[in-house]
Chain A
Amino acid sequence: MKNKAAKKAALYGIMVALAFTLSYLEHLFPLPVGIPGVKLGLANIVVLTALYILTPAEAVPVAAIRILLAGLTFGNAFSMLYSLAGGAVSFLVMWAGKKSPLSPVGVSVLGGVSHNVGQLAAAALITRSAGIFWYLPVLLAAGVGTGLLNGAIALPVIRRLSKSAD
């Protein structure tokens, strides 16, 4: 029992650290696409993995702590707000997607797309301008691309970790 708790604590630590590092990497090397808001979202590899190898309720803190840490260290109040909006929406959608016939890659695509939609909705609320939805087609397509990439990376990780789980 005690051993299990220790194992879980270590796993949480590794996952939060990994997600945080991936966020930081992306912050250091932003994508040179020139479209505001488009990024790879590599931290979602970790959140997606957590969703599969832990229970969804256990994966929530991994996603939330990552956003808080990233916002406090190299973001600002605004970027944290958008991250939270995108993160919350994508987490709920991926959770639902996990129960569907989709593979982790499909769930990752769902996550990428819904993350962008959530951020855009937050931006529209804050500026009170529906015109921001002009970006929607671009962000939908970008979400598919980044979701595919992250899903392709997460898939073998999930497979291996599920096997070693007791």
Chain B
Amino acid sequence: MKKADLILIAGVLIAAGILALVFFLKPAVAGDAAVVEIDGVETAAYPLTEERCETIETPYGKNILVIKDGGASVQDADCPDRVCAKHRAISMAGEQIVCLPHRLVVRIVGAEAPSGVDALAQ
């Protein structure tokens, strides 16, 4: 380990810390609806207040979206890794579940505060 190594490590960790502060320390705002995006195109939006179970057909496979108790989760999927199905339910504005193999994003949107995600996307 040289001095340059330590400077690099400290630099990356500080950058990660600052980004984490910016991203995660925003006050959490309960969302209103779950928006479904396939290939970056919004295909559906479901209010979080109504319980439902939807099968989302993407050109790459199926995901089963469940809305229950004011939160959205992916109950099951036929993608190879099923990372999306293991994700906990989301309910706060800006939270999202991503299924990379199916190019699917389930995102919570809120009417009041624009999420950090949207700010980033612009």
Residues of A that sit less than 8 Å from B by CB: 34, 36, 76, 78-79, 82, 100-103, 105-106, 109-110, 113, 123, 126-134, 136-138, 140-141, 143-144, 148
Please list the 10 inter-chain residue pairs (A to B) with the smallest Cβ-Cβ separation, ordered nearest first: A128-B40, A106-B5, A131-B117, A140-B16, A137-B20, A130-B121, A137-B19, A101-B4, A36-B83, A137-B16
Are A102's CB and B98's CB within 8 A?
Answer: no
Q: Which residues of A have CB within 8 Å of B98?
A: 123, 127, 129, 132
Write out the residue numbers on chain A whose beta carbons fall within 8 Å of the beta carbon of B19. Answer: 136-137, 140
* Any A CB within 8 A of the CB of B103: yes
B21-78 contacts to A, CB under 8 A, are 23-24, 37, 39-41
B100 at the A interface (CB under 8 A): yes
Q: Point out the residues of chain A lying under 8 angstroms from B23, CB to CB.
A: 134, 136-137
Contact partners of A105 in chain B: CB under 8 A: 1, 5
Give the residues in chain B near A141, CB-CB below 8 Å. 12-13, 16
Asked if B91 lies at the interface with its beta carbon under 8 angstroms from chain A, I say no
A11 to B23, CA, bound (A): 46
21 examples of A-B residue contacts, CB within 8 angstroms: A36-B81, A101-B4, A102-B4, A103-B2, A105-B5, A106-B4, A106-B5, A106-B8, A113-B12, A128-B39, A128-B40, A129-B37, A130-B121, A131-B107, A134-B117, A136-B16, A137-B20, A138-B16, A140-B13, A140-B15, A140-B19
A-chain residues with CB within 8 Å of residue B24 when the two chains form the complex: 137
**How long is the Cα–Cα vector from A36 to B57 in the complex, in angstroms?**
23
Q: How far in angstroms is the closest Cβ of chain B from A113?
A: 6
The CA of A113 and the CA of B80, in the complex, are separated in Å by: 25
- CB of B101 within 8 A of chain A? yes
